[in-house]
Structure 1
Amino acid sequence: MKLKTILTAASAAVLLAACGSDHHDAHNVHGDGEHIGQRSFSATLNPTEGNEGLHGFVMFEDTADGVFVLAHVEGLDAGGVHGFHVHEYGDCSDPEAMSAGGHFNPHGADHGSPQSTERHVGDLGNLRADDAGIAHLEMIDTKLELSGPHSILGKSVIVHAQPDDYQTQPTGDAGARVLCGVIVDADIDEHDHHAH
């Protein structure tokens, strides 16, 4: 599987440490871990101004059941809960990442939880940090798309300072943006890396 190969090369030691304990939200993927991928995207999460101790990444891969999402963030406050969304613009240039715009919401829906019938496409819920400040999440999402007119390619991933309450419109009252990363084609990046 492409995603597994990329992750092994990038951060095997980090992921093994993170997977040793339970960092998973209620909607995580369990089972044999086999995901038959077609397209793979990734986002390297960089800290916004004043949050320099934070870092992480997110991977997205097509599967037969939806888009497999893997997120891993380090440097968070122990036990902290942080809103986690795809935003509409792939622009993290602003010091507070406001250039990323609002949640990716091509259908004009209300904000909600990942399990809500009506929600923004970008509503991915919360990341929960363990006692070491590490948040690790694996889930399948059925509203994200990696191809077509509503593809998340070129959008951004934002991690917020506060939890998403799943109710407050249109943001979930998740607070400041502490990490931002642009979603790129992992296959192209991997090819470019080997080409140089």
Structure 2
Amino acid sequence: MMAGIGAAALSLAACNDQDKMETGTPVAGGQRATAMLMTATGAPVGRATATEVAGGVRFTIDATGMPAGTHGAHVHMIGRCDAPDFASAGGHWNPTQKKHGTMNPQGPHEGDLPNLVIGTDGRGTIGATIPAATWAALMDADGAAMVVHANPDDLMTDPSGNSGGRIACGVFQPA
């Protein structure tokens, strides 16, 4: 019986290692960009990163000093963050022309990320790899931005998951 359990554990470990090799492993010499997240008043509230990985692009957000609660977080298609509403960042990054949301059968946009949960201390982090996303599509001629919204993303409603106004924005700059 113990041999069977050991073999199953090795098998699961091999599957997990294979998944990491397919998506998520940093590419040797791969591209990286950072975006300093700011409020409409210019207050710094964190940093987002985009990293070229095997099989896609990995996005992370490390937020500080943000309102507690659950917030939609999305990569937007234009690298501009003009206050007060950050509308200059355009819509969600969507090179595949899909509908919004990971729960939408016609989605998701490549810029749709998991919700960012901010604790009572104003801190929160997320990380997600977008499979098949390409660096060239992300960092095109007009760049890209990370936007955090006021409300949770319902992960389904087009175009932005009913996630409310844009409360923080940062333009990705190559590292």
Report TM bin, short chain.
0.7 to 0.9
The answer to whether the aligner puts 1:158 opposite 2:144 as a matched pair is: no
Query: Are residue 42 (structure 1) and residue 37 (structure 2) matched?
Result: no
The runs of 5 or more residues in structure 2 that have no matched partner are 1-19
Are the aligned partners of 1:56 and 1:71 in contact in 2 as well (CA < 8 Å)?
yes
**TM-score, normalization: structure 2?**
0.75
How many angstroms does 1:117 deviate by?
Answer: 7.0
CA distance, structure 1, for counterparts of residue 138 and residue 161 of structure 2: 23
Distance in 2, matches of 1:107 and 1:140, equals 16
Q: Counterpart of 2:67 in structure 1: which amino acid?
A: D
Q: Is 2:81 the counterpart of 1:92?
A: yes
How high is the TM-score relative to the length of structure 1? Answer: 0.68
Q: Deviations over 1:95-137 (max 9, x none)?
A: 1111111111222211012897721111112111123120112
Q: Deviations for 1:151-185, whole angstroms, at most 9, x for unmatched residues?
A: 24511110001010012211101101011111111
CA distance in 2, matches of 1:62, 1:117: 25
Paired with 2:128 and 2:82, the residues of 1 have a C-alpha distance of: 28
The letter of the residue matching 1:151 is L
The answer as to whether partners of 2:104 and 2:156 remain within 8 angstroms in 1 is no
* Whole-angstrom distance in 2 between the partners of 1:121 and 1:138: 14
Residue in structure 1 matched with residue 53 of structure 2 by the alignment: 63
Kept in 2: contact 1:114–1:141 (CA 8 A)? no
Aligned to 1:144: 133
Higher-Rg structure is 2
Pair 103,72 (structure 1): closer, same or farther in 2 beyond 3 Å:
same
3-state SS of paired residue (1:123): coil
Q: Distance in 2 between matches of 1:146 and 1:180?
A: 20
Residues 39 and 116 of structure 1, relative CA distance in 2, 3 Å threshold:
farther
CA shift in 2, pair 1:92/1:125, >3 Å: same
Q: How many residues align?
A: 151
1:65 is displaced (CA, Å) by 4.0
Matches of 1:108 and 1:146 in 2, distance apart?
A: 17
C-alpha displacement of 1:71:
0.9
CA deviation string 1:15-41 (max 9, x = no partner)? xxxxxxxxxxxxxxx9xx973451111
